[in-house]
Structure 1
Amino acid sequence: MEVNKKNLLILHLTVFVWGFTGVLGKVISIDAVPMVWYRVLIATSTLLAWFLITKTNLKITRKQFVQFFLTGGIVAIHWIFFFHAIKVSTVSVTLVCLSSFTLFTAILEPLIKKQPIFMGDILVGLLIIAGIYLIFKFESQYTLGIIFGLLAALASSLFSTINSTFVQKSEPSIIGFYELVGGLFWITLYRLYDGSLLNTHFNLSLKDWFYLAILGTFCTSVAYVAGVSVMRTLSAFRVALVTNLEPVYGIILAFIFFKNKEQMTGGFYIGAVIILASVFLYPIYKNRKNHP
């Protein structure tokens, strides 16, 4: 198989696995904060084992360590908001709201990198806002889930924009590892503060341990390494298009696993189509703008 086709298949499988995290977040019985703590603990351990096996050099500067460590806190907040949104609403609602990542990136990236905001970015942003408004209007019983889904998208956009500057000087896998370490530290600190960690007896059900193991290994560390490796041969445009399939894969999986619990009003689907169409059109527009 041609290298690019093979890597494209790996990328699709990786994005499919990311879409599956929403399903796991729903079936794991524990709350969002301890769930993310277990996820990061397992992912950090497996990535560290991988680096030791491959004899990867983990040496970075003190400045880089502080930057990655602090950014890891934002990554942890993103995951906590994401899983909490799923707990208080549905997988479909959360994943569609997470698609507003494109809107927040269009705003945050120019601000952080001190670049101009283009009219096309504003138009795509307005379309996404219209879709979110429809979902708010027709799925008002999930207001809390929608809010946390949007906050998760904002946090995701923030750390992704920050990482886009880090990746120019450091290996993505090294960045990811130290951000996971940072995330684990900040969540542990919070759980010590609220007392929940002191009362943790690790007496979860076998089902929860099984799903957490999948979440921490395949959906986090393995998927991350695979996703990073293919980005070296695939264009950023193609990666963006395929990555935008995550909510589509996730919603399909949610329907398969939860059936009637994931059925929404017509207004939700109209809003979802507007958001997803905007998300798919955005990289096409950016690609044409950069290559007229």
Structure 2
Amino acid sequence: MTHQRALLQSHLAAVLFGLTGILGELIKSDPIMITTFRAFFAAMVLFLIIRSQGRRLSEGLNKKDAGMLLLASIMLAIHWVSFFIAVKTGGIAIATLGFASFPAFITLSEWLVLRERVRTDEWLILGLVSFGLILVPPEFDLAAEATIGLLWAVLSGFTFALFTIINRRTASHMPALQVAYWENLFVTLLCLPFALPYLGQPSAADWFWMAMLGIFCTALSHYLLVSSLTRINARSAGIIIALEPIYAIAFAALLFAQYPSIQAILGGTIIVGAIVWSGMRKQPDQS
């Protein structure tokens, strides 16, 4: 794979991630249904990809890893459910910008949980993200739908940060596609009992969009991102993925005429700018 193709794949992954909010808006089913069958369709596709490569599904997996993958899957399930609630409550722009706070939560969690040293510039980035979040809703009123949607989106970002840290600290010796397969399978099994009361709810269109969400915005996007990392470094990929809210807001404006306010654009610019700056910083010497 060439460097340019890797860049193209990472941008395509960001576009597919950005489409998640769009499909969440299109699907009229309950967020727990969306989460369950997003994970189900993703797990099926990842199963086929792994088997087509001649790999074992349990490659590198042991009992300790299985427990940590289950814990990561719980965080992933909460992340997805809260994100889709945010989309349906506050709109696509607020949901994606609130979720974009997750790098700041990773920094905070690493300091609180892992006791890792946080540099001054990282605290500044955390402050900028927090300030940007305050600007995103038209008014920070706990009775307003926009604020409620933002709070759900921030919960989505927080649980995704925990999910990321758990994945970072465990199963590092497992192939990424296998990790993704098991986590999507676990999310399906965890959420299915809660989704059963809503099985009669989705329309044919809902089933189609849930399949697209699982196949393209989950399985394919993950595969593209993992593949691109063979030619570009994680920092470069992270900067590109940070563009996800921009793609999502552009799609929302084109498809649903959901236009963010000037204040929300300012807040989003601060958040995305802080995340891009975070990715471009020179990392401290680990030796």
- TM-score under structure 1 normalisation? 0.90
CA contact (8 A) 1:138 1:267 kept: no
Distance 2:2 2:183 in 1: 30
Distance 1:15 1:43 in 2: 17
AA partner of residue 49 (structure 2): W
Superposed CA deviations along residues 22-71 of structure 1, whole A, max 9, x for unmatched, are 10000111011111111111111221222223221122111111211221
SS in 2 for 1:113: coil
Task: Write the mapping of 1:1-292 to structure 2, written as runs, cut at 5 A.
Answer: 3-59=2-58, 60-136=61-137, 138=139, 140=141, 141=144, 142-166=146-170, 168-189=172-193, 191=194, 196-198=195-197, 200-201=199-200, 204-259=202-257, 262-285=258-281, 287=282, 289-290=284-285
SS in 2 for 1:197: helix
Stretches of structure 2 that go unaligned for 5 or more consecutive residues are none
Superposed CA deviations along residues 175-222 of structure 1, whole A, max 9, x for unmatched, are 111111211121124x1xxxx505624x63222122111101011111
263-272 vs 227-236, greater mean Cα deviation: 263-272
Cα deviation, residue 289, structure 1: 4.5
SS in 1 for 2:136: helix
Superposed CA deviations along residues 60-104 of structure 1, whole A, max 9, x for unmatched, are 111111211221111111000001100011100111111111210
Superposed CA deviations along residues 200-245 of structure 1, whole A, max 9, x for unmatched, are 24x6322212211110101111111121121122112211111111
Distance 1:113 1:233 in 2: 30
Off by >4 Å, runs of 4+ in structure 1: 288-291
Cα deviation, residue 269, structure 1: 1.9
CA contact (8 A) 2:134 2:140 kept: no
AA partner of residue 37 (structure 1): T
Distance 1:199 1:9 in 2: 38
Distance 1:139 1:32 in 2: 24
Stretches of structure 1 that go unaligned for 5 or more consecutive residues are none
